[in-house]
Structure 1
Amino acid sequence: MDLHAYITSLGGVARTRTLIEAGYTKRDIAAIALDFRKPIRGIIALPGCNPDFMFALLHNGLLTCGSAAEFYGLWIRTRPARRHLACAHSRSAAFVAHRTRRFPPHGLLPVASIEDTVLHALGCLEVPQAVSVAESALRSGRIDADMLRACLRGSRSARAREALARVDLTAESQPEVEARLLFQAQGWAVEAQARIPGVGRVDFLIEGRVIVEIDGHAYHSTRERFIEDRRRHNTATLRGLPTLRYPPEVVWNDPGRIVSEVQALLGMTAA
């Protein structure tokens, strides 16, 4: 692979040390450095390089926590306003520093391991975000719950342990995680992925009386899906189980509306 293609495979930015370890000569590196910028000594960046990778290399750290969640395909609603880096120092206000690293990083890219990414998220992010990151990682089978618990035994990990305890692996999307936590916070009996005879599986059954569905972007993507959904809705209604539906945006931006509407239906069905 020529040097330009190799740097591109690394996100368009790399340390010269990485290139030398890959077998490229100092002459190769000097030649390409004439055509592309060197933001600081020891780093070469191609036009359009990954800005997160550039930031991590410039600050001698590894992307982690909420800043590495998307890289691993983990559920996170919004990226943190400041990048999160695993690094040995925290002298800059430009990023949030995580000083603990338990596992080797992701290959040659400036990204912490998926294990450290999840551990950092559990102890750092707000509960809905932390639970979402951990739940998606566990559901994918790429990390193990026992490993997480073993790493979180220390006295400083109480917050992370509490977040991990909220993971139950029932959600099939990030909005479902937030909806479940919202319902549980009200003290309601919540059955996620409940199976109802004649209706099938529903996202949530609240207090055994109200169905709540969180509709993703693929909802009603086909005519057959639309027809089947109408059948399910009618069957549930005939069984005395009213259904409320919400898109992810309402879960994220107007949770109070969901609570009030579920509460209203619970009151109407109490008799």
Structure 2
Amino acid sequence: MEPVQYLRSLGGVARTATLLRAGITKRQVAELAELGSKPVRGVIALPGCDSDYLFALAHNGLLTCASAATRHGLWIRDRPARRHLAVTHARVKAFIPHRTIRFPAHEHLPVASVADTVLHALGCLELSEAVSVAESAVKSRRVQLPLLKKLLAPNRSARARHALSLVTGTAGSQPEVEARLLFIAQGWRVVAQAQIPGVGRVDFLIEGIVIVEIDGHAFHDDRGSFVEDRRRTNVALLRGHPTLRYPPEVVWRDPERILREVEELLLNWRMGRRGQ
């Protein structure tokens, strides 16, 4: 791969040491510097380079936590207002620092490992985001739950351990994680990915009665799945399990509506049974 193409494959910015290790000569490195700039010593950046990578390299750190989650394909809804960097140097104000680095970072990019990214998220982010990041990492087998539990021993952050206690590795999407946390906080008995005879697996079974399904964007994109869903819904109802369905947008923007409707259905269903 020729030098400019290689540098662009790294987001358009890299340390000169990284380029030299890749076999690019000192003369070629100098030519790259002429094409771009040297924002800090030992770093070459082409025009239009990845701004997060440039920021991390300029501050001698690694993207981590919320800033690395999407880089690893982990579930997180919002881009952080401030960047999160794993660093070992002194105090900073330009970003949120994480000072413990346990595993080797990406070989070529300024991005912390998946495990460090998850561990930092567990102790830093708001609960639903922290659980979502960890859930997706465990679900995809990018990190093992027992390892996370071992690293978050009792002398570590109680906040991180609480978030980790809510990770199951079974959710199918980030909105499912948020919905499960909503139901748990309400004090309901919740079974995620419940198996119901004749119906199959459902996202949630609440109080042994109400089924809640969180429908993804690709939901019912063909006639066959549409027909199958109606069959499942009918069979579930015949077995005493009414179903509520919500798109991700409702989970994110109007969670109170979900709680209100589930509570109302539970109440009406129980009253109907008592009246029989």
**TM over 0.5, yes or no?**
yes
- The number of aligned residues is 271
Structure 1 distance, partners of 2:90, 2:213, is 43
Aligned-residue offset at 1:181: 1.0
1:155 aligns to what SS in structure 2? coil
Any idea what the Cα deviations from partners look like across 1:142-161, whole Å, max 9, x if unmatched? 21222212211152422111
Alignment partner, residue 104 of structure 1: 104
Alignment-derived partner of residue 158 in structure 2: 158
Q: What pairs with 1:63-78 in structure 2 (closer than 5 Å)?
A: 63-78=63-78
Gaps of 5+ in 2: none
Query: CA 1:234/1:154 → structure 2, altered by over 3 Å: closer, same or farther?
Result: closer
Task: Work out whether 1:6 is the aligned partner of 2:6.
Answer: yes
1:137 aligned partner: 137
Instruction: Please report the TM-score for the alignment, with normalisation by the length of structure 1.
Output: 0.96
**1:86 matched residue in structure 2:** 86
8 Å CA contact 1:90, 1:97 repeated in 2: no
Structure 1 residue 122: Cα displacement = 0.7
Q: CA deviation at 1:115?
A: 0.9
CA distance in 1, matches of 2:229, 2:255: 24
**Residues 90 and 96 in structure 1, CA contact (< 8 A), matched pair in contact too:** no
TM-score (norm. length: structure 2): 0.94
Q: Distance in 1 between matches of 2:41 and 2:148?
A: 38
Residue deviations 1:100-144 (CA, integer Å, cap 9, x gap) = 111111111000111100110111111111111111111111212
Bigger mean CA deviation after superposition, 179-188 or 89-98: 89-98
Q: Deviations over 1:16-65 (max 9, x none)?
A: 12222323222111122112122223211122221111111111100001
Work out whether 1:32 is the aligned partner of 2:43. no
Map residues 208-247 of structure 1 onto 2, 5 A cutoff: 208-247=208-247
Q: What is the aligned-residue RMSD (CA, Å)?
A: 1.4
Structure 1 residues 50 and 227, CA, compared in 2 at 3 Å: closer, same or farther? same
- Residue ranges of structure 1 left out of the alignment (5+ in a row): none
The change in CA–CA distance for 1:105 and 1:237 in structure 2 (over 3 A counts) is same
Q: Offset at 1:212?
A: 0.5
Could you say which residue in structure 1 is the equivalent of 2:18? Answer: 18
Contact 1:89 1:97 in 2 (8 A): no
Give the deviation of 1:98 after TM superposition. 0.1
CA distance in 1, matches of 2:43, 2:21: 14
Instruction: Tell me how far apart the structure 2 counterparts of residues 120 and 154 of structure 1 sit (CA, whole Å).
Output: 16
Indicate whether 1:48 and 2:48 are aligned.
Answer: yes
Instruction: Flag as ranges the 4+ runs of structure 1 deviating above 6 A.
Output: none
Q: Specify whether residues 102 and 154 from structure 1 end up closer, same or farther in structure 2 by C-alpha distance, changes over 3 A only.
A: farther
Is the contact between residue 10 and residue 109 of structure 1 (CA under 8 Å) also seen in structure 2? yes
Structure 1 distance, partners of 2:90, 2:237, is: 57
**Which SS does the other structure have where 1:213 is aligned?**
strand
Give the drift of 1:90. 5.2
Greater Cα shift, 41-50 or 110-119:
41-50
SS of 1:187's equivalent in the other structure is: coil
Amino acid in structure 1 at the alignment position of 2:249: E
Distance 2:263 2:47 in 1: 54
**Aligned equivalent of 2:176:** 176
